[in-house]
Amino acid sequence: MPELPEVETVRRGLTRLVQGATIDHVDVYYAKMVRPDAEIFTADLIGRKIEKIDRRGKYLLFRFSGNLTMVSHLRMEGKYDVQPEESPIPKHTHVIFHLTDNRELRYNDTRKFGRMRLVETGTEDVELPSLGKLGPEPTAETLTLAYMQQTFGKSHKVVKPFLLDQSRIAGLGNIYVDEVLWLSKINPLTPADTLTKDQLGTLRQNIIAEIAMAIKGHGTTVHTFSTAFGEAGNFQNHLHVYGHEGEPCERCGTEIVKIKVAQRGTHFCPHCQPYPPEALEEMQDD
């Protein structure tokens, strides 16, 4: 599942391959994937030049000539690749951007969860409310401790779904949330407003460092992610808890457990990340 580091890796690969290329025409094979409807979508893109590719959180923003932006979200399994036009078309290819140099930019998505949206450049924050409401990027400059103290302090939500909320911090997904909580020795069921300043400082440092390291490693190949640009993601070698249930914790040897928190699979070490009193009380009730 692409999270921020994977999307950034895709952005860099696409920039290298198709920045400056011009769209000849577009074929949409799965109409629900695009907006406005496929007819308008394909008509609007004819003759446009890909001037730049930006990213915000997990969203890709293709900047086209003529003030047009395509906002693309890969969701679970979306992938782009660039192929010569004679190359066979795989089963789950849903959109093909035919370029004028006889190459094709193809969008593949097994589960059809990804979405593309065409808007006038500059209006994306309004046209896509979830994009406009994104929290700060997880970097040292943009994610300040003061911001974290303020936002965490105001919420009773438990920290796992809190960190998955893109309007709080942009770009974290299920894998990296489990990882940074393990690194920070914070139980995923801890209410956000009970975290101390020290804990928030540790969490902040781990988020920033983990995302930066994952970008350096070209993302993770957990499940079906690969960059398709000749840069195989190798970050899975650095995962400590995600997908490691039943294995000993690298720090203390206690068995890593997997539970459900807010409907999401959640991995942690019950010794290094002890349950908060709130969670223990809830467990008494059962």
Q: 245-264 mask for DNA (x: CB under 7 A)?
A: ---------------x-xxx
* Site for DNA, residues 114 to 143, rule: CB under 7 A: 128-131
Q: Tell me if 111 is assigned to a ligand binding site.
A: yes
**Is residue 233 close enough to count as binding DNA by CB under 7 A?**
no
C-alpha distances in Å from residue 188, one per residue of 91, 117, 268: 38, 34, 8
Q: Are 251 and 38 in contact (CB under 8 A)?
A: no
- How many Å from the N-terminal Cα to the C-terminal Cα in the chain? 33
Q: Which residues pair with 97 in a beta bridge?
A: 26, 105
Question: Radius of gyration over alpha carbons of the chain, in Å?
Answer: 21
For residue 3, the minimal CB distance to DNA (Å) is 7
**Is residue 283 close enough to count as binding DNA by CB under 7 A?**
no
Query: Does 32 qualify as catalytic in the annotation?
Result: no
**Count of residues of this chain found to bind DNA when the rule CB under 7 A is applied:** 30
For residue 21, the minimal CB distance to DNA (Å) is 27
For residue 115, the minimal CB distance to DNA (Å) is 7
**Is residue 111 close enough to count as binding DNA by CB under 7 A?**
yes
Q: Are 119 and 61 in contact (CB under 8 A)?
A: no
Closest Cα partner for 178 from 111, 254, 238, 113?
Answer: 238
For residue 239, the minimal CB distance to DNA (Å) is 12
Which span sits near DNA by CB under 7 A: 41-49, 60-68, 104-112, 144-152? 104-112
Q: 159-198 mask for DNA (x: CB under 7 A)?
A: --x--x-x------xx------------------------
C-alpha distances in Å from residue 1, one per residue of 99, 161, 176: 28, 17, 11
**Is residue 57 close enough to count as binding DNA by CB under 7 A?**
yes
Query: Does 12 qualify as catalytic in the annotation?
Result: no
The side-by-side arrangement of strands in the sheet containing 59-64 is 34-35, 115-120, 68-73, 59-64, 50-56
Query: Does 58 qualify as catalytic in the annotation?
Result: yes
Q: Are 32 and 116 in contact (CB under 8 A)?
A: no
Type of residue numbered 158: V
Nearer to DNA, 63 or 112 (CB): 112
Q: Are 87 and 58 in contact (CB under 8 A)?
A: no
**Is residue 155 close enough to count as binding DNA by CB under 7 A?**
yes
For residue 259, the minimal CB distance to DNA (Å) is 10
Quick one: tokens of 14? 């696409």
For residue 144, the minimal CB distance to DNA (Å) is 21
CA–CA separation, 36 and 277 (whole Å): 49
**Is residue 156 close enough to count as binding DNA by CB under 7 A?**
yes
Q: In the set 16, 32, 216, 251, which binds DNA (CB under 7 A)? A: 32
Query: Does 251 qualify as catalytic in the annotation?
Result: no
CA–CA separation, 141 and 148 (whole Å): 13
Type of residue numbered 168: R
Q: What angle do CA 256, 258, 263 make, to 5 degrees?
A: 155
**Is residue 151 close enough to count as binding DNA by CB under 7 A?**
no
Q: Which residues are annotated as a binding site for DNA?
A: 92, 111
Residues that bind DNA (CB under 7 A): 1, 32, 57-58, 73, 75-76, 91-92, 110-113, 128-131, 155-157, 161, 164, 166, 173-174, 260, 262-265
Catalytic residues: 2-3, 58, 264
Q: Where is the binding site, in residues?
A: 92, 111
